[in-house]
Amino acid sequence: MNAPIDVFISNVPADENHRKVLEKHLRPLEREKRIRIWSREKLSAGEDRRAVIGSMIETAPHQNATVLRKCGYHRAAFYTQS
């Protein structure tokens, strides 16, 4: 069997419910060990959110992305701060 694919989910806080629904739909693949899901829910207290997320993006073996967004996400502070 092939190694599981890492699925990294990044979302703004306003879209937390959408992330939960997406993860619910992906759970069967995770149980079959076909994927591993990671989201900021797995951050530990005190971890640097930006550094961890940046590292996840930069070290991802596959650079595919599916973006679920609603109007106005690009104005969220997390995405507009440098």
Question: Does residue 52 surpass a pLDDT of 70?
Answer: yes
Residue 8 three-state SS: strand
- 68 falls in which pLDDT band (50, 70, 90)? low
- Give the residue with greater pLDDT, 55 vs 25: 25
Q: What is the pLDDT of residue 47?
A: 86
CA 82 to CA 79: how far, in whole Å?
8
Count Cα atoms within 13 angstroms, Cβ side, for 35: 15
Q: What is the pLDDT of residues 6-32, one digit of tens each?
A: 888 878 788 888 889 999 999 999 999
Over range 62-82, report the average pLDDT: 55
Q: What is the pLDDT of residue 65?
A: 58
